[in-house]
Structures are given as structure tokens and as C-alpha cells.
Amino acid sequence: MLFPFVLLGLAATAFFCGFSDMGWPEYLWCVPLLFIGFFIAALLLYVIFLLIICLFTNTKKERDARSPFYHSLVTFTIGLLLSIFRVKPELVGEELIPRDTRWLLVCNHRSGFDPLVTIVALRRYGISFIAKPSIFKIPIAAQLISQDFFLSIDRENNRAALKTILKAADYMKRDITSMGIYPEGTRTRDGNMLPFRNGAFKIAQRAKAPVVVATIEGAENIMHRFPLRSTRVKLVIHRVFDAETVAAETTADLSEKARQIMLDHLGR
């Protein structure tokens, strides 16, 4: 995702050098500094562009369909952020993902980067996430993700949480987006999975949709390795519970089976 900004930096550097009256080659050492400056300037211009977009974004307006513009903007911006942090997403088991229906993704949760990597890895499928309320207080991010059908869930308020679950199911039933949720409710600090909240599986039952069970590994290492080393993060699709299975099982049974699949893979 950094490639367009690298090109802009190179083009601006070449343009400046071509029309400047600096003596060559004694000022050749300035070229790398010029490129870095123009590269950073290009990134700042993109941030300004996002700010302008957000000023004209109505986050309270209900929409009936996903906007290709906002979805592309969200995906590109997240991909750019991952590129800056030198993250390399890898998707395994893609052949298991349903192609003809919306689905609910359930996954373990170790890092704040988990949903970012997942969104980029699954960008061709169009997935939104159910996230904690604090995410919707981050400038720029709040405006963009609200336009891409991300939902806030207050896990301390059962009535509010139920409204979020019903809205997520409605999005899936109306073929707007697939949804992702972390049944643990929050990310684990020691790598061991927390108990699952069975209510997460009500989304799939309400939507009469499949459940895609996945694990993610490596995102917890990103901040330890940045900026000296890149980090490969693997998202693995293990199993899909079809809509018929989801309808026939209780949420407790689905939760237990999904958790055991994840535990078997992670070895914890």
C-alpha cells in the first residue's frame, strides 16, 4: 500500500532535481533526504484528504448498501497502516470461505492489530467488525468505519448489546456485509484464550448464516519487532459451520465447538 506514496516521492524528487540549480554531483547527498521529505509530505496529504472526507461524512445517516468508495477507503487506509508497521498478512484455508452467502467470522483475539490484518486478508469478501465503543472515539477511524457498517457493542449493557447483535444479523440477512466478532470479548494479555461469550453466535442464528471459525497468530509480535523487522501474521480458516448446523445447535454448543477448534490449533 506504500507503493503509490513511494512513486509520488520519487516523482517529486525527480521534478525538483530536474528544475533546481544545485550543482551536481556535490549535492547528490541531498537526493535521499529530498525523497524522504516528499514521501512524508505525500502521507500527510493523504491524512489531510481523509480529514476533509470526514468533515463531510454524516455518521448518523442510515444506509441500505455498502459504499464502494468508503469500503475502498477503509481497506486502503488499513493496508497503508499495516505497510508502515511492516506487517505481512497471510491467509490460509481461503477455499473454505462461503462464496454465495454472508457469514459470521469468529476468531481468537491477541492484539489490537487482529481486526486490521483480518480486514486486509479478507478484503475481497467484504467484512465489517463488531468493536468496543472506544474505537468509535478515534478521529478519522470513527467516521470511516461507521460508513462501512462496523458496529459498536457495549458488553456491560445487555440491552444495548442485544441491539447490536440484532443489527449485525440484519446486515447479514440483507446481504450488506459479513461480520466479524471476537467471542472472548476482549484481547488476551498472555496468549491463553479467555472464556467465550455465547451471545456472539446469536448473530449467525438470527441471520440464518454460516459461522467461519478461524485463528490468528503473530499480530501480538508487531510492536516488539517494529521498526527493525517485519512481522508475518497468519489468519487460518479452520472450519465452517453451515447455516443448517448453526440453526440446529444451541449457542453454547456452537461456542464450545468453535473454541475447541481454536484451542486444538493454537495448542493452548
| 62-80 pLDDT tens trace | 788 899 999 999 999 999 9
CA diameter of the chain: 77
Q: Which pLDDT score, from 0 to 100, does residue 29 have?
A: 62
Summarised one tens digit per residue, pLDDT across range 196-218 is: 999 999 999 999 999 999 999 99
Helices (H), 174-227: 202-207, 222-225
Summarised one tens digit per residue, pLDDT across range 143-189 is: 999 999 999 998 878 888 899 999 999 999 999 999 999 999 888 87
**β-pairing, 151-152 with 127-131?**
parallel
Determine the Cα–Cα distance for residues 209 and 32; give it in Å rounded to an integer. 53
User: Which residues partner with 90 through β-bridges?
Assistant: 234
pTM of the model: 0.90
